Amino acid sequence: MNDTADLVQSWKVTLPCTRAEAEALESDIAAFSMMDRPPVLMTSEAEPDNDDSWRLEAYFEGKPSAAAVKLLRTLVPSATRIRPAIEQLPNEDWVTLSQQGLEPVTAGRFHVRNLPGDPELPGHVNFLIGASRAFGTGQHETTSGCLMMLDRMHRIGMRFRNVADIGTGTGLLAFAALRLWPRAQATASDIDPVAVEVSADNARANGVRLGAVAGQVILCMAAGADHPVITGRAPYDLLIANILAGPLIELAPSLCALVEEGGTIVLAGLLKEQADAVLAAYRAQGMRLAERSDRGDWPTLRLRKRPRIGWKRPRRINSAERGEAWGFGSI
């Protein structure tokens, strides 16, 4: 998987911007959230101490469309009359390049650093999740929102023994759950085989044991819930899905079927304006909203399964019921 021939060609679009525009941007922008592979946005000073001389760099997986470039231009009005620099990058890992040097993130009791040289934060649960070919370094509000939700659930006394992380990305949320509930067993899956490989590397780097018993996490590649490891280890008392609104809605029947009566689902990856549609899909499966926490435009939802809805494995009658949702990855 490390051969350059296996890496998707990456492109970079660069535009000048002001410091005020740079500060208004975040690592991932809501405007791009409906794209299968949204760009990673980075801002930096072009000239030190010059507030009007900053730059915006957008890293795309594949050549950006004219519509994507047009949308990018709307984020920096000061560059309206300036032609963007669009370049094809060498066959290198675009996610790794774009994530180099990210600042550490603290979310609840968790402290996630990107570089080995970054110091650990005393009194916190520290993770090293380096720049990689998968998403989920803790930088995005959806990931940090999930970390804070898990932390809060632990603080109010919630206990779990069987955890699933669907769309795991770097494995971070599954690792965090195991640190909070070390006697639990964890299952982490992703549609992207690279993410599964990265998660295994991160598990070793952070002392997380791989395996199928309590205190360990088992990894698998799956489109949604359609995998014998995922269904075979059900029912879960905690299921985490940090993906996108479309797949969350499509997967609602199969994900809810994997959760035991009274069990908890944590959902993220949706925008504020998508929350009602996502909630409606899960309420139809017997879930109720227990808590909602918004970080910017990105809510994190904690749902509980009503006891009157029993668990059963997903039926495989047609493609809509197979628990598959292609074309998504973790955030």
Is 1.10.10.10 the CATH classification of the domain at 140-321? no
> Do the domains spanning 4-92 and 140-321 agree at the CATH topology level?
no
Element containing residue 129 per DSSP (H, E): none
Q: Where are the domains of the chain?
A: 4-92, 140-321
DSSP state of 254: H
Compute the distance between CA of residue 244 and CA of residue 37 in angstroms, rounded to an integer. 11
Q: Which amino acid is at 294?
A: D
Q: Is 143 annotated as a binding residue?
A: yes
Q: In this predicted structure, what is the pLDDT of residue 24?
A: 75
Q: Are 154 and 186 in contact (CB under 8 A)?
A: no
Q: Is 300 annotated as a binding residue?
A: no
Binding site annotation covers 190? yes
pLDDT for the residue numbered 324:
52
**Model pLDDT for residues 34-80, shown as the tens digit of each residue:** 676 778 777 777 776 666 788 888 888 888 999 999 989 988 999 98
Question: Helices 172-180 and 141-155: crossing angle, nearest 10°?
Answer: 10
Coil, strand or helix at 69: helix
Give pLDDT, residue 89. 79
Assigned token pair, 240:
């985490």
Q: Any binding-site annotation on 167?
A: yes
What is the pLDDT, as a whole number, of residue 312? 46
Structure tokens at 91: 């066959």
Please provide the size of the chain in residues: 331
Each of the 331 residues of the chain gets a pLDDT tens digit; together they read 344 444 557 888 999 998 888 877 754 466 676 676 778 777 777 776 666 788 888 888 888 999 999 989 988 999 988 999 999 877 655 555 555 545 788 899 999 988 777 889 999 999 998 765 444 444 467 889 999 999 999 999 999 999 999 999 899 999 999 999 999 999 999 988 888 998 999 999 999 999 999 999 999 999 889 899 999 999 999 999 998 888 999 999 999 999 999 999 999 988 899 999 999 999 999 999 999 999 888 899 999 998 864 444 443 333 344 455 544 445 5
Taking domain 4-92, whether its CATH number is 3.30.70.260 is answered by: yes
